[in-house]
Amino acid sequence: MSTPAPPSPHVGSRPGGRSARVRAAVQRATQELLADETNEPLTIPVVAARAGVHATTVYRRWGSIGELLTDVASSRFSGAIVVPDTGSLRGDLERYASDLAKDLGDPDSLPLVRATIGAGGEQGASACTRERQQQLEAILEREQARGNQTPTVQHVIDAVLAPLYYRAIFTDKALTPDWTRTLVSHVLPD
């Protein structure tokens, strides 16, 4: 449980001070509530109460629960995975798929993806995967810089990224290491 920061005449004037703390508290409250797996959809008043701030503060800053979730997803799904550099395209893609599978298995990950798709529409959904697509581009560009041919980014998105998200979101099947390697073998046959 967070409590609001004590009011201070100095803090409001410092950029990134109280404002950054409010943002952090609201983001944390959102993730905690999602992890609780209640049966009801998240609303701004519920998030505000958990964060210890006024609902009007949250409405003024984010506008809607969809925009708040999109912001939380942007933060959560940026930088969480490092682009691997194993020396080979197959190694990079296998490591990448395995890291993403692990990340989607984190308890704070899938509930956030689901809620953001539900309330944030296309913009929210795209905030969950934009950086993932950029990372795949980086992996392919490095292989091209080594002087090697690669599949297209679109092919790798369709063959590796899409099934990872599909299986996580729509099924109760585990994202196993054997299966993630199989996905890579579809785009890089032996």
Task: Name the residues that contact a copy of itself, by CB under 8 A.
Answer: 37, 39-43, 63-66, 114-119, 121-122, 125-126, 128-129, 155, 157-159, 161-163, 165-167, 169-172, 183, 186
Tell me whether residue 80 or residue 125 sits nearer to a copy of itself (CB atom): 125
Q: Which residues of 141-173 are buried (b: 16+ CB within 10 A; e: fewer)?
A: eebeeeeeebbebeebbebbbebbbebbeeeee
Tell me whether residue 19 or residue 74 sits nearer to a copy of itself (CB atom): 74
Distance between CA 110 and CA 101 in Å, rounded? 11
Instruction: Tell me how far, at minimum, the Cβ of 169 lies from a copy of itself, in Å.
Output: 5
* The one-letter amino acid at 132: R
Tell me whether residue 14 or residue 155 sits nearer to a copy of itself (CB atom): 155
Instruction: Tell me how far, at minimum, the Cβ of 66 lies from a copy of itself, in Å.
Output: 6
Tell me whether residue 139 or residue 175 sits nearer to a copy of itself (CB atom): 175
Beta strands in 25-100 (DSSP E): none
Instruction: Tell me how far, at minimum, the Cβ of 30 lies from a copy of itself, in Å.
Output: 13
Place of tokens 């529409």: 121
Token digits for 31? 């993730």
Instruction: Tell me how far, at minimum, the Cβ of 145 lies from a copy of itself, in Å.
Output: 26
Coil/strand/helix, residue 98: helix
* Chain length of the chain: 190
